[in-house]
């Protein structure tokens, strides 16, 4: 299990606009083994997971430790990882659900596990909400001063500030 990758899945899913299956596939761009198999059924199931992830991340941003605990545990109860050793494609690795499971089952378990492990590793002080958009992020900077989810958001705010000053 690669917990860092699963945290990335959790954040991408939490920040995704899941209006269409293509939106879901875009959120899972780094995992084509899931993205290529996604259907409308997966989309419907993962919308609820996305909302639960957002609630847990919101509790972390707000410093609500009890809220984080209850929300992450609810995610783990609803979508428990069921590790399975796999040896296909010439390498050994672990899936968090059966290889035959629908993508939504494995994505949900991976996201729940990734978020739980990140809370264990980082606590609740490293979570943030972007100052330019509604996205969540984990702040891995040394001085814990991250304010944006991406360089794109940071650039957009800084360019707007520059243009405002130049007027």
Residue 100 lies in a domain: yes
Residue 116 lies in a domain: yes
Residue 135 lies in a domain: no
**The two three-digit tokens of residue 70, written as one number:** 């209850």
pLDDT in the model for residue 60: 96
Most confident stretch, 13-17, 89-93, 159-163: 13-17
Residue 106 lies in a domain: yes
Buried b / exposed e over 16-32, threshold 16 CB at 10 Å, is bebeeeeebbebbeebe
The CATH number for 65's domain is 1.10.3300.10
Residue 55 lies in a domain: yes
Residue 27 lies in a domain: yes
Residue 146 lies in a domain: no
Residue 9 lies in a domain: yes
Per residue in 82-130, pLDDT (tens digit) is 998 887 777 888 888 887 889 999 999 999 999 999 999 988 889 999 9
Question: Residue 55: enclosing H or E segment and its boundaries?
Answer: helix 40-61
pTM for the structure as a whole: 0.88
- The helix/strand count (H/E) of the chain reads as 7, 4
Domain range spanning residue 43? 3-124
For 7-154, list the strands marked E by DSSP: 84-86, 93-95, 127-129, 136-138
User: How many separate domains does the chain show?
Assistant: 1
**The two three-digit tokens of residue 111, written as one number:** 């996201």
């Amino acid at each position: 299990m690669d917990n860092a990758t699963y945290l990335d899945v959790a954040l991408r899913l939490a920040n995704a606009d899941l209006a269409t299956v293509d939106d879901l596939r875009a959120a899972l761009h780094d995992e084509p083994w899931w993205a290529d198999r996604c259907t409308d059924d997966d989309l419907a199931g993962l919308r609820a997971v996305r909302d639960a992830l957002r609630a847990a991340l919101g509790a972390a941003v707000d410093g609500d430790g009890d809220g984080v605990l209850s929300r992450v545990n609810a995610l783990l109860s609803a979508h428990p990882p069921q590790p399975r050793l796999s040896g296909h494609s010439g390498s050994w690795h672990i899936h968090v659900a059966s290889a035959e499971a629908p993508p939504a089952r494995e994505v949900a378990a991976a996201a729940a596990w990734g978020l739980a492990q990140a809370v264990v590793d980082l606590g609740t002080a490293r979570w943030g909400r972007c100052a330019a958009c509604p996205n969540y992020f984990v702040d891995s900077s040394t001085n814990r001063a991250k304010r944006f989810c991406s360089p794109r958001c940071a650039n957009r705010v800084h360019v707007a500030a520059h243009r405002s000053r130049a007027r």
